[in-house]
Structure 1
Amino acid sequence: MNQPAVCYKHHRFSPQIIAHAVWLYYRFPLSLRLVEEMLLERGILVSYETIRRWGIKFGPDYARRLHRRQASQNDVWHLDEMVISISGKKHYLWRAVDHTGYVLDEIMQTRRNTKAARRLLMRLLKQQGLPPKRIITDKLRSYGAAKRQIMPHVEHRSHKGLNNRAENSHVPLRKREWSMQGFRSPGGLQRFVSIFSTLRNLFVPSNHNRTAFAIHLHRLKAMAEWKAVTGATA
């Protein structure tokens, strides 16, 4: 069933400007003030605070509407967690990507234990609808304990060198964390990564067939889907 169009009622700026501002902020390592400056260069006078509110209001809605890759029984899940400091306290962003680098899920938690690993696996099963062919993790024992409880028949390979796919997927978020000078709250981090990774899934092609023509075609299709989802088709 088709979803109703994004509602821009009572907003002074057009859907094209709002969607473009949100796209710039979440797709590229730009601060809100830099996005403000880029829009000003085009003759669009809007404050960085307005852009921030647009991201909070429309970003999650855009992300929910974007097409998600269909799950397969041949999928391989790479699981890993990254430490993020918020207000001087350690938090753990548990992440899962498939063998192509597509981000499957991310969840911010305060613990690095079996309960946290189990929560990630349960979310993945619920969202994907079926277990993977294999999961690959580092040597953290919490993954093995959680896997035995949730999906005991799924193959599990635990080796630091095998999990480069997940570890490499942290890099774009680390760069963004640095450019933003850190995150202010756990809720803000969770909201940000849900939008940030969804846009990366859409616009960044998989590691297979990365010819110049294939990348160009992928980006054109991604931009067409983005404009259709956001209503910025004028």
Structure 2
Amino acid sequence: MKADAAVQRRLLDLAEVDAELSRVNHRRRTLPELAEITGAEQTVQAKRDALVAVETSLGDLDREVRRQETEIDQVRAREDRDRKLLADGNVGAKQLADLEHELATLQRRQSVLEDDLLELMERREAVDADTNHARVELDKAQSALTDAQGRRDSALADLDSTEAKRVGERELMVKQFPADLLALYERVRGQRGIGAGLLRGRRCGACRIEIDRTTMSKIQSAAADDVVTCDECGAILVRTSESGL
């Protein structure tokens, strides 16, 4: 295959654009924010689970407090009724003794219930503090996630802008090359990632491998418009004044 030496040299410009596009794609896949977001999402989920757990405990305690208060109200109501019966004075001796015994029992029961309620309220206060702390921790985790997502989106926007610019440049560049030369370049690039490289000294600019003396002798004897390729990677070897031929 033959192509004007100047046209071949322009392959280096195309290769540089393609290299930057490859870097953009690699950068897009390996943004540090991606791993950070994954970790932040896991943290948010853990904090959310912790909040749900303490909120559930708080709800259970609230129900227990209401049940205890209801029972205390019932005991007090029963005590009020018994005291009214005693105050009426229309009860017999046996009923009087029963009422007095029941009042004493109700007072003991109320005391126990009130002690239990006090303990429940103390536990609820502690769990309420844990709940508030869990909400703060969840807010912090969500803020960290939002921040990482914002930085990711900003980085992706920059990469998209660079990619769009380079794709536009590439579309103009490829029109400068003969179809057969471009086809060879694209085929090698598709297989090896780099379609052309500068021959500098005895080293291929695409794969960085040093070319043996026999092959170098053949390259030196090739015409300027001959398209030569690297035996190792298949990339088109672009010859310039830097090639030392």
TM range (shorter): under 0.3
More helix by share: 2
Q: Which has the larger radius of gyration?
A: 2
TM-score, normalising length from structure 2?
Answer: 0.20
More strand by share: 1
